[in-house]
Amino acid sequence: MYRYRPTFLLILLILLVVAGLTGLTWANYRFAAQNPGGNDFLARWMGAQKWLLEGLSPYDPQVSLATQEMIYGRPADPAKDEDVGHFVYPLPSMVFFAPFGLFDYPLARALWMTTLELALAALTLISLRLVQWRPSPWQMALMFLFSVLWYHGARTIIVGQFAAVEALLIAAALLFILREQDGLAGFFLALGIAKPQMLYLILPFILLWAYSQRRFRLIWGFLVSSLVIFIISLAFIPNWPVQMIWQMLDYPEYSDRIGSLISIITSPLPGIQRQLETALWGFFSVYLLVEWILAWKKGPRWFLWTASMTLVLTNFLTARAATTNYVMMIPALILIFRVWVERWGKKGQAVVWGVMAVALVGLWILFIQTVQGNLEQPAMYVPLPLFCLLGLWWVRWWFVRSAFLPAEEL
């Protein structure tokens, strides 16, 4: 009898997990049926479905038009800030989108929302593993809920943004790097090319640091994986890069309402905004390069702090800010919390939970107070990256220089 107990418990656990995911997906389906939307996912779903079922390139104007008609019941008007629904993702991203193109949109959206919720929970778990933080089960459960319910997580889920999956790929690559599983790290970085605007700074830093550590397997793992993925994608649509570039040229015409985070920060001073914006772009670019140089040949703690700073500054140094991309800063946020708990014990835990409560409630209040129609306003873009930037500066010495997070644990 005892011999079969582990098998029984495993089957019971699997059934509970399946039941939980089914219930979550059903709840998402009810939400999707009652609240049409998820336009960020809709364009990608339409591209996947038209490609799989009708043989159309996801970059074909007919695909964009079909997306517009689902959203507005007519062609979109970019002059009114209406989304023209381009696919505008590299074709290798179909690894993630294609399975959902086999379902009708409401069910596909519900399944995608479940995927994003699981991705955010996994991102939080990996972020905890990165800094060797093991909260109690109930604390971890609260962190999982926070990652899904706070403004940036919930908005990512509701609009169906791929950013949660991309952030998970980056965090997983960092974890594999710290565990010296360089082949897997390179593969995950290659998959991250699906959303290059979130990867374009962290990738060169990782490759430069890997070169300084003579960890060439990481570099080759990324290059070979990227080459294989690219060749396979060309086998399906040989000229997809050209088609995507044409869509990207059209993309800013309807998506430049907000601009960069630096332009938002400098907007209260319109008289000198242009000069101030140029100065801040130069400052953050040079500063980040200096941090990369300082991390040259350094150990895992220094690498992880610099990687976290790179993820934060990525949101400063992009031409167009997106609050959904802010989920990539969860590893930086948890690194800051980890140092507070390590330094201050129970007082640090109280501060962490207080900050999380303020972020959970405060960001939603800010959104409600500032939203115009269904458009978020510039005020939503500033709090989190500014907090993470100042927080990382604050804990830098303790994290980089202190003895906790010993190398042998990694």
Predicted local confidence at residue 406, as pLDDT? 43
Q: Quick one: DSSP state of residue 375?
A: B
Phi, psi of 194 (to 5 degrees): -55, -30
Domain boundaries, the chain: 24-376
pLDDT band at 3 (very low <50, low <70, confident <90, very high): low
In the predicted structure, residue 403 carries a pLDDT above the cut 80: no
Q: Are 68 and 84 in contact (CB under 8 A)?
A: yes
Tens digits of residue pLDDT in 138-160:
999 999 999 999 999 999 999 99
Predicted local confidence at residue 36, as pLDDT? 86
Query: Does residue 373 come out as left (phi exceeding 0), alpha (psi in the -120 to 50 range) or beta?
Result: left
Tens digits of residue pLDDT in 38-84:
889 999 999 999 999 999 999 999 999 999 999 888 988 877 777 88
Average pLDDT, stretch 175-198?
Answer: 96
The tokens 């060169």 sit on which residue?
204
Taking the CB of residue 77, how many other CB atoms lie within 10 A of it? 12
Tens digits of residue pLDDT in 109-124:
999 999 999 999 999 9
In the predicted structure, residue 410 carries a pLDDT above the cut 90: no
In the predicted structure, residue 250 carries a pLDDT above the cut 90: no
Predicted local confidence at residue 2, as pLDDT? 46
Distance (Å, rounded) from C-alpha 325 to C-alpha 313?
12
Predicted local confidence at residue 109, as pLDDT? 97
**pLDDT, greater one: 406 or 207:** 207
Distance (Å, rounded) from C-alpha 48 to C-alpha 30?
23
Predicted local confidence at residue 408, as pLDDT? 40
DSSP-assigned letters across all residues of 136-194: -HHHHHHHHHHHHHSHHHHHHHHHT-THHHHHHHHHHHHHHHHTT-HHHHHHHHHHGGG
pLDDT band at 374 (very low <50, low <70, confident <90, very high): confident
Distance (Å, rounded) from C-alpha 225 to C-alpha 321?
29
How far lies 262's CA from each of 5, 137, 160, 381, 390, in Å?
59, 39, 26, 10, 15
How far lies 301's CA from each of 22, 120, 186, 219, 373, in Å?
39, 24, 20, 20, 44
